[in-house]
Amino acid sequence: MQLLLFPDSVGADLGLKDFAAISDGAVIEAQNYYRRMEDKLAIAQRAGKKDRVKAIHARICARRRDFHHQLNTRLVNSYGAIFVGNVNAQALSQTGMAKSVLDAGWSAFRTMLLYKGARTGVWVEEVDEAYSTQTCSVCESRTGPRGQEGRGVREWTCGECNTTHHRDVNAACNILAAGRRRQQQESPSLPRKRQPKAEGGEDVNK
């Protein structure tokens, strides 16, 4: 049996209804900072209050950045390897979902996660999330929701193995599986997460 390089690994599926679903079952609620301030922003823009508009945009960015920072810190402190889906934020920002995509800030979140992973010795990698929503993470049959009519389906049951899935957690499990496959193909000289010094000051990482 081939051992996993990082047994404490996790997959993350980024979304809009929820900001992220984690393969261990956790679901992180979308914060919608822009949406919350949209009415105040519109009032300031109509009144021509440029300084007020700038201040609101700055507040939105600061709150989003702080949310990303806190979530990324929790992730790198909890896992030895993190695999995140490569959802195409740029493409989706050209659709009717543009405001929600920009509000989520996926690209900034992933960039920060990569940076924090490098600093802490946690393996972080983007993986292809194609068909992760449609594929059953238990039996690998592609029986899940698809197409426009499937967008609103949040829970589904596999027609092959009868396992009931939370749409996004299932996708996160598939992202984790894809990441582990990639992991086994990478160079064996992977970063090792540093451990705190032992009592007496001895560095256990030597």
Rounded to a whole number, what is the largest CA-CA distance in the chain? Answer: 67
Given a contact cutoff of 8 angstroms between Cβ atoms, the answer to whether 127 and 182 are in contact is: yes
Per the listing, tokens 């609103």 go with 152
CB-count burial class (<10 Å; 0-12, 13-18, 19+) for 87: buried
Classify residue 192: in a domain, yes or no.
Answer: no
Classify residue 195: in a domain, yes or no.
Answer: no
Classify residue 38: in a domain, yes or no.
Answer: yes
pTM: 0.82
CA 22/CA 170 separation, integer angstroms: 9
Classify residue 114: in a domain, yes or no.
Answer: yes
DSSP letter for each residue of 144-201: S--TGGGTT--EEE-TTT--EEEHHHHHHHHHHHHHHHHHHHS-S----PPPPPPTTS
Give residue-wise pLDDT tens across range 115-152.
999 999 999 999 999 999 999 999 999 999 988 888 88
* Alpha helices for the chain (secondary structure H): 33-46, 50-78, 89-92, 98-104, 106-120, 167-185
Helix 33-46 × helix 50-78 angle, to 10° = 170
Q: Containing domain of residue 48, as a range?
A: 9-185
Between 63-77, 136-150, 163-177, the lowest mean confidence (pLDDT) is in: 136-150
Classify residue 202: in a domain, yes or no.
Answer: no
Classify residue 197: in a domain, yes or no.
Answer: no
Counted domains in the chain? 1
The closest alpha carbon to 123, from 191, 195, 74, 178, belongs to 191
Classify residue 122: in a domain, yes or no.
Answer: yes
Task: List, in order, residues 6 or more apart from 161 with CB less than 8 Å away.
Answer: 136, 138, 139, 141
Whether residue 198 is predicted with pLDDT greater than 50 in this model: the reply is no
Predicted local distance difference test score (pLDDT) of residue 5? 52
Predicted local distance difference test score (pLDDT) of residue 123? 92
Classify residue 1: in a domain, yes or no.
Answer: no
